[in-house]
Amino acid sequence: MGHALAAVYLVWLLNLYNFMDGIDGIASVEALCVCLGRSAQLADRACGVGTSAVAAGDGGGWLHYWNFPPARIFMGDAGSGFLGIALGLLSLQAAWVEPQLQWNWLILLSVFVVDATWTLGRRLLRGDKVYEAHRSHAYQYASRLLGCHLPVTLVVGAIDLFWLLPVALWVGLGSLDGFTGLLLAYVPLVLLAIRFRAGQQEVATAG
């Protein structure tokens, strides 16, 4: 059962990372912040700290040179899928060593998990063809509302570093149980997803 759940988890992370790679820099910023956060948390453990640091360096280098808004080159399905799988494998490796560490990964990845899952859930309930391309994620609505990608990408990084990382550290120190930490991370993000109309049907415009 555990292996089956791990396979589903990896497939979902691969796909949600692909779904969320829709504006300049957002996937790189997420990978950078998540891996830096994990490296900081695992500094006194041998649970993938070196690999997390390398992944953070890769994400940061790509972001700085090619992908920072306005992007010169886009990551594409191969790049975003690789990041999703890599982060999933790192989280499973950490959970194999210390099962409670899985909570930290789920907290740090909250922005992508909540937006992608909420959007897909609403589209499934509405009967949309979920395999068809769309632009109904919260981050996509937000970028259209603001007229550019940069503010949304920066806000995602700020949420990762100033909200989700402290919650993950709190759980990692054992001062907060994992499920409560997950609720603290997810509930505000669900409210943001609702505020920015995640999964709401797009209105066609003339021209």
Binding residues for Mg(2+): 18, 77
Show binding-site residues. 18, 77
Helix axes 110-126, 178-195, angle to 10 degrees: 60
In 3D space, the residue among 147, 155, 146, 134 whose CA is nearest the CA of residue 198 turns out to be 134
Q: How far is residue 47's CA from residue 62's CA, in Å, rounded to a whole number?
A: 24
Q: How far is residue 165's CA from residue 158's CA, in Å, rounded to a whole number?
A: 10
Give the CB-side neighbour count of residue 166, counting CA atoms within 13 A. 5
Task: Return the DSSP state at 66.
Answer: I
